[in-house]
């Protein structure tokens, strides 16, 4: 398989980070893909972004302003569908605080071009940790990381996250987009498991050619995010009727509950939201239950 710029659609999901978004757009354009379509999903309903405000010289920029915050799951779902509707072959996904560095796309082209399988589903540019190792993710009811030396060779894995991830629209056509009902968290792993169910391969390219500011992680995990992590992980296990996932959820929740009691702030609200998240998962409740803005 191969990647051509005219067959590529780039998706960027943004929320209240206009300067980070501009940096990401310019980093994408530095890959030499002026023929590609770039679709920006703006989840901030208080601001109507205009393409000319970001780059007046780039005419292939599509801005989709949302009337409410649909978070990363909803944004990526709409972006994946937009790339499919444009008739393109690949969707390359980013959050506004992650961006490719020079040579990222060329490395993907080279690596993907060496794979003969017609069912490549997802290819992720792997981040490097503070020890200079690339992270691989596998699934044992919960994501299990392992670490390898950087290289330009694809490694097959169970899971990837969406930042810097290339997704075949053949896969999107067959299994649909990621599930917006997760709202925030877990949707990437659900999508990878569905891709595996459909017989598609998932690869990590462990070269570290991606910059990730991790702006959403500054200051620790807020209570609303713990709610979605708890609810969505249990929902995934129940939906798939997978006891390994449910057992991993129990173990994880016991560990994090202990950590809340011992170390976290806002203990009462965190514990209440975790209990509510469990109840909602059992009821199969989906979507945006709590607006993150309520807790900012």
**For residues 153 and 43, what is the distance between their CA atoms, to the nearest angstrom?**
35
pLDDT at position 97, please? 95
Q: How far apart are CA 231 and CA 280, in angstroms?
A: 7
CATH label, 5-216, candidates 3.40.50.720, 1.10.3720.10, 3.90.550.60, 3.30.470.30: 3.90.550.60
Q: Can you read off the two tokens belonging to residue 261?
A: 């009691």
Q: How does DSSP assign the chain, residue by residue? A: ----GGGEEEEEEESS-HHHHHHHHHHHHTTS-TTSEEEEEE--TT----HHHH-TT-S-EEEEE-SS--HHHHHHHHHHHHHHHTT-SEEEEEETTEEEPTTHHHHHHHHHHT---S-EEEEEEPPB-TTSPEEEEEESSSEEEEEE---SS-EE-SB--STTEEEEHHHHHHH-S--GGG-SSSHHHHHHHHHHHTT-EEEEETT--EEE--GGGTTS--HHHHHHHHHHHHHHHHHHT-HHHHHHHHHHHHHHHHHHHHH-SSHHHHHHHHHHHHHHHHTT--S-SS-GGGG-
User: How many beta carbons lie within 10 A of that of residue 15, not counting itself?
Assistant: 24
Distance between CA atoms of residues 67 and 25, nearest Å? 22
Where do the structural domains in the chain lie, given as residue ranges?
5-216, 219-295
pLDDT for 54 equals: 83
pLDDT (tens digit, 0 to 9) for every residue of the chain, 296 residues total?
778 878 999 999 999 999 999 999 999 999 988 778 999 999 999 999 988 888 877 878 999 999 999 999 999 999 999 999 999 999 999 999 999 999 999 999 999 999 988 899 999 999 999 999 999 999 999 999 999 999 999 999 999 999 999 999 999 999 999 999 999 999 999 999 999 999 999 999 999 999 988 765 565 789 999 999 999 999 999 999 999 999 999 999 999 999 999 999 999 999 999 999 999 999 999 999 977 777 65
**Tokens 């206009």 found at:** 18
Q: Report the alpha-carbon angle 63-186-24, nearest 5.
A: 35
Task: Residue 248: name the closest of 157, 145, 161, 143 by CA.
Answer: 143
Q: What are φ and ψ of residue 189, in 5° steps? A: -70, -40
């Amino acid at each position: 398989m191969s990647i051509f710029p005219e067959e590529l659609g780039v998706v960027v999901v943004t929320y209240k980070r206009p300067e980070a978004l501009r940096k990401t757009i310019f980093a994408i354009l530095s890959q030499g893909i002026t023929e590609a379509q770039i679709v920006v999903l703006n989840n901030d309903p208080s601001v109507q972004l205009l393409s000319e405000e970001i780059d007046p010289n780039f005419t292939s920029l599509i801005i989709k302003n949302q009337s409410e915050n649909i978070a990363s799951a909803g944004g990526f779902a709409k972006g994946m569908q937009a790339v499919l509707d444009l008739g393109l072959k690949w969707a390359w996904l980013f959050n506004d605080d992650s961006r490719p560095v020079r040579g990222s796309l060329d490395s993907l082209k080279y690596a993907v071009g060496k794979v003969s399988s017609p069912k490549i589903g997802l290819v992720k540019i792997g981040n490097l940790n503070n020890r200079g190792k690339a992270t691989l993710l596998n699934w044992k009811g919960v994501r299990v990381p392992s670490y390898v030396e950087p290289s330009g060779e694809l490694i097959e894995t169970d899971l990837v996250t969406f930042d810097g991830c290339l997704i075949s629209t053949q896969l999107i056509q067959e299994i649909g987009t990621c599930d917006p009902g997760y709202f925030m968290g877990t949707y990437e792993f659900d999508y990878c498991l569905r891709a595996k169910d459909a017989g598609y391969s998932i690869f990590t390219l462990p070269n570290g050619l991606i910059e990730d500011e991790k702006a959403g992680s500054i200051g620790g995990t807020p209570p609303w995010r713990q709610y979605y992590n708890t609810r969505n992980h249990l929902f995934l296990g129940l939906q798939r009727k997978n006891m390994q996932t449910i057992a991993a959820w129990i173990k994880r929740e016991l560990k994090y509950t202990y950590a809340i009691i011992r170390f976290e702030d806002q203990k009462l609200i965190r514990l209440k939201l975790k209990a509510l998240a469990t109840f909602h998962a059992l009821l199969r409740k989906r979507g945006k239950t709590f607006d993150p803005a309520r807790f900012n």
